[in-house]
Amino acid sequence: MKSAWDVRGFSAVFYKELRQIMRSPITFFLAIGIPIIQLLLLGYAIQTTVEHVPSVMYRGDRGHAAQAFTDAVNASRTFNVVGYVNSREELRAAIVAGKARVGFDIPENFTADLLAGRHPAIGALIDGSDSAVAQIAYGSAIALGGVPLRAVSLAPKFSLEVRPYVLFNPAMRSADFFVPGLIGMILQNMTIMLTSLAIVGERERGTLDQLLVTPIGSAGLMLGKLLPYAIVAGIDFVAILITMRFVFDVQIVGNLALLAFLSAGFLVTALGLGLLISTFAQTQIQAQLMSIFLLLPSVLLSGAVFERSLMPLTMQIVGLFIPLTYYIDILRGIILRGAGVVQLWPSIALMFGYGILVFALASYRFARTTR
Amino acid sequence: MSGVAVFADRLTKRYGDRNAVNAVSLSVPAGSIFGFLGPNGSGKSTTIKMLCGLVHPTSGSAQVAGFDIEKDSDSVRRSIGYMAQGFALYGDLTVSENLEFYARAYGLGRNAEKRKSNVIEIVGIGPYAKVLGGHLSGGWQRRLALAAALIHNPSVVFLDEPTAGIDPVARRDLWDLLFTLTAAGITFFVTTHYMDEAERCSSLAYIYLGDMLVYGSPEEICALPTVTPNGTVRYAVSSNDVMETFRRVHSVPSIREATIFGRDIHVVVDASEPKGKLARDLSVLDDSVAKIPPSLEDAFVALTRASAASQ
């Protein structure tokens, strides 16, 4: 009976596996090229920074407070005035027709009413079909409300200035949120896909029994299978990081060495998960289906694309069982907020714990099912 | 180890309530070729896998190369070579790389290079050293697999259907190679479906539905009473229309057994039945009926039928 912790034969398997990866340059190129292409495609596609929302305006008043508001709307990056209309009906029609997402309605006698202290209100009709756009437009429209008050210096006591200050991602660019998430997601998909085929591939080709009669240990086989792919994934990581920095212009605020070290930890965890799948699957097709079953929820629930704090509690708990969740937290922490071990230690500890558990389970299952 | 390479004592493997291998006992002398025969699914591969330490026996015990397969599996691993069914090496690695991998796997260290050139010479695969495993012909793939199984200089080598699917010339060459190696003291434990190969083995075992039916040299097996029961004689009946003659067999009460072999029908007949009457009953000429000794195939067919009938 072989022990699950027997590491003999590691170097034999390692060299063999590395040779087999290098033997097929197309596979090697795909393993490196696909992640970069994916990052470019997804990084450009997913844009939630809301800018230049097409807007129309009805001006029932042309006084200087009304003019100040009009100028402010025109000057903002959020709104882009595409036309002025002559009635409230036309304002509504423009939104229904999809020509504009927002319609500003400056009521008659606005300046006069403001000066008289009668609290006139500027209407903002917002198209709610895209909730993200609508929310940004809503907030920006309220913020613009301060403008006419300031224009009317006679009423300083009504002055209400909202001055938002955004931490960490001052431009509120979505790339800063998404690209680090995509890094985690792409690295995970690549590694799990690659290693899930590792053991089952030997089983399907009939080479597994021939391996098992040698003194190669269970852990030796697992590590030897895993590390060559870890090297490929490491190259992926560097390429993706360069793309992030120079194509998407996302600065790495924190410590690069820490990021690299923790990323290596994540890769080993993800590879271990792939190996675990490989010990369950009887065929390569089964292994791929299991990978996909695992990948989709991890993309959705880990926070790579959607903010975890906005999810229902049960889904947040499910997310805690996904190693990617911890890595995404680490990625954003280091890249965007400049966090270190002190701030990130719970995620770091859980991620490494997960990795060791997964690897032990894979090695144990392998040692048990093959004897 | 007193000249016994493989010794099994009531080795049993049970899957659920089915006995895949039922109390198999055998003893293979060192330096011989042991043939392990039986229909597909009869337990041949399971027995080999138990002896190689790939499968745990449910009960019974065995020693291979003098080491207990359960208590000393590490020593067993180092003393045995195993050639799995089909091509079980890496098609995307060259002959030389495949052998290097196994040399490393067995931890040969500094001896690796020497052992590699040694086995390359033994199986004569030198000219193909740089060819990918997947590009070799079936016969050369088997030779490569044999080289890999020999890399760590094992004393016992298990070959699971080593000649299935390769051409007759490559098959004969491989067997000649096995005989050469037995002279160097290596013991081969071979499963096969080919009777001509079985006849070349020094001893044989025949396993059917997990039970070992017979065990002995080819001559001993052919001489078993079950093969040619007392009071019966075996004839070969040749005929121009084998199917027509075979149909007539059923109307002759004295015929106990009949099997078609090409243009011949081998029949087991009551000894009291005169040869001439048999020829007339089957509508063939007198001289197309000839008394024959049982072949190994006759023996195994008879043994399998007898076993199936008793169950």
pLDDT in tens, A46-89: 666 677 888 899 988 888 888 888 888 888 878 888 999 998 88
- Count of CB contacts below 8 A, A vs B? 75
Residues in A touching B102 (Cβ below 8 Å): 12, 214
Bridge pairing between strands B264-270 and B232-238: antiparallel
Distance CA A9, CA A213 (A): 12
**Among chain B residues, CA nearest to A217:** B105
Bridge pairing between strands B67-68 and B59-64: antiparallel
Q: For residue A249, give the DSSP letter.
A: -
> Residue A167: pLDDT above 60?
no
Predicted pLDDT at A146: 64
> Residue B224: pLDDT above 70?
yes
* Other Cβ atoms within 10 Å of B116 Cβ, number: 22
A344-367 burial, b for 16+ CB within 10 Å, e for fewer? beebbeebbebbeebbbbbbbbbb
Distance CA A224, CA A230 (A): 10
Tokens of A124: 């903002």
**Among chain B residues, CA nearest to A204:** B88
Q: Rounded to 10 degrees, what is the CA torsion of A10, A14, A17, A22? A: -170
Which residue, chain included where needed, has tokens 């050293």? Answer: B129
> Residue B35: pLDDT above 90?
yes
Q: Rounded to 10 degrees, what is the CA torsion of A301, A307, A309, A314? A: -20
State pLDDT tens for residues A86-141.
Answer: 988 888 888 888 888 888 888 888 888 878 777 777 888 887 777 667 777 777 77
CA angle B55, B61, B64 (to 5 degrees): 75
Predicted pLDDT at B287: 86
Distance CA B254, CA A306 (A): 86
**Among chain A residues, CA nearest to B45:** A209
Average pLDDT over residues B1-18: 86
Average pLDDT over residues B114-135: 94
* Other Cβ atoms within 10 Å of B128 Cβ, number: 19
Contact B24, B7 (CB under 8 A): no
Q: Residue B12 — pLDDT band, cuts 50, 70, 90?
A: very high
The burial of A277, by beta-carbon neighbours within 10 Å (0-12 exposed, 13-18 middle, 19 or more buried), is given as buried
Predicted pLDDT at A222: 84
Phi (first) and psi of residue B300, to 5 degrees: -70, -35
* Other Cβ atoms within 10 Å of B169 Cβ, number: 9
Predicted pLDDT at A370: 58
Tokens of A16: 């063999």
Contact B154, B80 (CB under 8 A): yes
> Residue B2: pLDDT above 80?
no
Min mean pLDDT across A117-131, B2-16, B220-234 is at A117-131
Given CB atoms, is A207 within the 8 Å cutoff of chain B? Answer: yes
How high is the mean pLDDT of chain B? Answer: 90
In this predicted model, which residue has the larger pLDDT, B12 or A40?
B12
Nearest of A309, A347, A340 to residue A325 by alpha carbon? A347
Distance CA B123, CA B136 (A): 14
Cβ separation B54–A20 shorter than 8 A: no
> Residue A157: pLDDT above 50?
no
**Amino acid residing at A250:** V
> Residue A45: pLDDT above 80?
no
> Residue A152: pLDDT above 70?
no
Work out the minimum CA distance from B309 to partner chain A, whole angstroms: 35
Predicted pLDDT at B129: 94
| Chain B residues with a Cβ under 8 Å from any Cβ in chain A | 49, 52-56, 73-74, 77-78, 80-93, 97, 101-102, 104-107, 145, 148
Q: Which helix (H) or strand (E) holds A246?
A: helix A218-246
Between B77, B85, B90, which is nearest A215 by CB?
A: B77
> Residue B304: pLDDT above 90?
no
Tell me the β-bridge partners of B132.
Answer: B94
Q: Residue B57 — pLDDT band, cuts 50, 70, 90?
A: very high
**Interface predicted TM-score (ipTM) over 0.95:** no
Predicted pLDDT at B178: 93
Min mean pLDDT across A298-307, A344-353, B26-35 is at A298-307
Between A24, A215, A371, which is nearest B78 by CB?
A: A215
Which residue, chain included where needed, has tokens 């079909």? Answer: A129
Distance CA A237, CA B305 (A): 65
A238-265 burial, b for 16+ CB within 10 Å, e for fewer? eebbebbeeebebebebeeebbeebbeb
Predicted pLDDT at B38: 87
At residue A282, the 3 state secondary structure works out as coil
Residues in A touching B49 (Cβ below 8 Å): 209
Q: Residue A39 — pLDDT band, cuts 50, 70, 90?
A: confident
Work out the minimum CA distance from A203 to partner chain B, whole angstroms: 10
Global pTM value: 0.76
Predicted pLDDT at B227: 86
How high is the mean pLDDT of chain A? Answer: 81
Given CB atoms, is A215 within the 8 Å cutoff of chain B? Answer: yes
Name which of A20, A210, A370 to mutate to probe chain B: the one with the most chain B Cβ atoms within 10 A of its Cβ: A210
